[in-house]
Amino acid sequence: MLLNDQLTEAPAAGADQTIVTDIAIVGGGLAGSLAAAVLARAGHRVILIDKRAVYPEEFRVEKIGGQQLEILRRLGFIRELAAVGRAYNSVLNVREGKVVDISVGQAFGLPYDRLVAMARALIPDPSSFIVDQVTGVSCSDHVQHLALASGKRISSRLVVLATGMAGALGHSLGMTRRVLAARHSVSFGFTIARSGNEPFPFEALTCYGERPADGVDYLMLFPVPAGMRANLFMFSDPADPVMRELRRDTRSTLLRLMPGLQPFLGDFHVVDRVQSWVMDLSILEKYLQPGVVIIGDAFQTNCPAAGTGVCRLLVDVERLCTEHIPRWLGTPGMGIEKISQFYTDRDKKAADRHSLRLARFRQALTSGNDLRWIVQRRLHFLRRTIMYRLDRIHPGWIARFRDALGA
């Protein structure tokens, strides 16, 4: 299901209207829209505010799988995802022209704007989505006030900031952002096709970088409704000439960086504009304040190569909207003693820590050039290859072995 056109219309009212609600969510990307849908379906009064009626095309999250699917199933949204995404069930993993292993498990590929449209369409009452811009926010232990560019005002018990890396509102409340690793990674997104539109000989494919000096972590190819999507993740200086080469002559540069890729792709070409994204690792500080809670990238950014961003976002949404907010609304007040319960939530803290740890690990595994990382890189891929070959000889042996260890 795509975005309901009615959802883009703000409620008809005078500019001086004050809207009273339980929860006001600022930011209508994936985090804010899913949070609004979860809370509204549970019967809470929710207002979602975003300045864009339809989320624009943007190179962000483009595939959902693994733990992300499990959380969406628990939230009750998996059927809607399947309706707008392209499903695939196996990923061929290769390096230096050889098969490392095959990953098995359902996943979906789709553009980020369609993912956001799906989330917004899950909100039961279209009038609870307001197309406007928040120009001011004041928070207290009891009532929170938002001022909108249109002149409208919103009064709520709780404000949820899901504004991504746009931190103006948080800054106005005295919050600051600390950069842990500037220009940590660079990501590229584009779509490819084979000559004559012949199908690729795989459902999805991951090709890992071959030389640490190149800074290539991996190229992921997966189906989306428009074709075969490519996401390339690198740990390299964004000013390196290779970045410009990837934009101008993507095919040749890709094969130069990963020559072992050619036998798996055959004759292919890039069919659309190459998009790129430079990501800093950062975390919000001075965030513990009454009446306001921060989720998703607005709280902590992630390394796209690590693939933990959507998991973190979904953990935030699930824990906040199914556990904490329902309990908070059951008693008066919205002081920091309540708000702190979310930031100290065991699952949230574990997801945040795992995200940062994996970001640093992937960078070191990709680019580390000392003896420790040279050995660890070889052992990492050798272990995967051995396990894969053993499983081909004795199908199901690995799964049974892992089950026995977990028993």
Average pLDDT value over all residues in the chain: 91
Instruction: Tell me which of 9 and 34 has the higher pLDDT.
Output: 34
Identify the bridge partners of residue 349 per DSSP, sorted by sequence position.
Answer: none
Spatial contact of 236 and 212, defined as CB atoms under 8 Å apart: no
Confidence of residue 399 (pLDDT cuts 50, 70, 90): low
pLDDT of 337 above 50? yes
Q: Quick one: pLDDT band at residue 16, thresholds 50, 70, 90? A: low
pLDDT at residue 402 in the model: 53
Neighbours of 362 (CB within 10 A): 22
Closest Cα to residue 28, out of 97, 106, 131?
131
Q: Rounded to the nearest 5 degrees, what angle is found at the Cα of 67, between the Cα atoms of 100 and 398?
A: 40
Residue 45 pLDDT exceeds 80 = yes
Quote the pLDDT of residue 243.
Answer: 94
From the list 350, 376, 353, 362, the residue with the least C-alpha distance to 303 is 362
Model pLDDT for residues 253-290, shown as the tens digit of each residue: 999 999 999 999 999 999 999 999 999 999 999 999 99
User: Which of 239-243, 333-337, 401-405 comes out lowest in average pLDDT?
Assistant: 401-405
List C-alpha distances in Å: 138 to 131, 339, 341, 365: 20, 16, 21, 45
Residue-wise pLDDT for 339-366, tens only, equals 999 999 999 999 999 999 999 999 999 9
pLDDT given for residue 165 in this prediction: 84
Q: What is the pLDDT of residues 211-262, one digit of tens each?
A: 999 999 999 999 999 999 999 999 999 999 999 999 999 999 999 999 999 9
Assign 3-class secondary structure to the chain: CCCCHHHHCCCCCCCCCEEEEEEEEECCCHHHHHHHHHHHHCCCCEEEEECCCCCCCCCCCCEEECHHHHHHHHHCCHHHHHHHCEEEEEEEEEECCEEEEEEEEEEEECCHHHHHHHHHHCCCCHHHEEECCEEEEECCCCCEEEEECCCCEEEEEEEEECCCCCCHHHHHCCCEEEEEEEEEEEEEEEEEEEHHHCCCCCCCEEEECCCHHHCEEEEEEEEECCEEEEEEEECCCCCCHHHHHHHHCHHHHHHHHCHHHHHHHCCEEECCCCEEEEEEEEEEECCCECCEEECHHHCECCCHHHCCHHHHHHHHHHHHHHHHHHHHCCCCCCCHHHHHHHHCCHHHHHHHHHHHHHHHHHHHHHHCCCHHHHHHHHHHHHHHHHHHHHHHHCCCHHHHHHHHHHC
Question: What pLDDT, on a 0 to 100 scale, did the predictor assign at position 17?
Answer: 82
- Residue 138 backbone dihedrals phi, psi, to 5 degrees: -135, 135
Q: For the segment 109-122, what is each residue's pLDDT rounded down to a tens digit?
A: 999 999 999 999 99
In the predicted model, is pLDDT for residue 136 greater than 80? Answer: yes
The Cα–Cα gap between 92 and 221 comes to 10
Average pLDDT (91-110) is: 95
d(CA 328, CA 345): 14
Is the pLDDT assigned to residue 207 strictly greater than 50?
yes
Q: Examine the pLDDT at 10 and tell me if it is beyond 50.
A: no
Taking each helix axis from N to C end, the angle separating 346-367 and 371-393, rounded to the nearest 10 degrees, works out to 100
- pLDDT bucket at 404, cuts 50 / 70 / 90: low
**Backbone angles phi and psi of 297, in degrees to 5:** -65, -20
Instruction: State yes or no: pLDDT of 14 exceeds 60.
Output: no
The answer, yes or no, to whether residue 138 has pLDDT greater than 60, is yes
State the pLDDT confidence band at 400, using cuts at 50, 70 and 90.
low
Percent of residues, the chain, with pLDDT higher than 90: 86
Rounded to an integer, the average pLDDT of 44-58 is 95
Q: What pLDDT was estimated at residue 229?
A: 97
Q: Which of the pair, 94 or 399, is modelled with greater confidence?
A: 94
| Dihedrals phi, psi of 279, to nearest 5 degrees | -115, 130
Please report the pLDDT score of residue 112 as a whole number. 95
Of the candidate ranges 55-64, 104-113, 308-317, 397-406, the one whose mean pLDDT is the lowest: 397-406
Q: Average of pLDDT values for 308-319?
A: 95
Give the pLDDT confidence score for residue 52 in this predicted structure: 95
47 pLDDT more than 70: yes
Across 6-10, 54-58, 206-210, the highest mean pLDDT is recorded for: 206-210
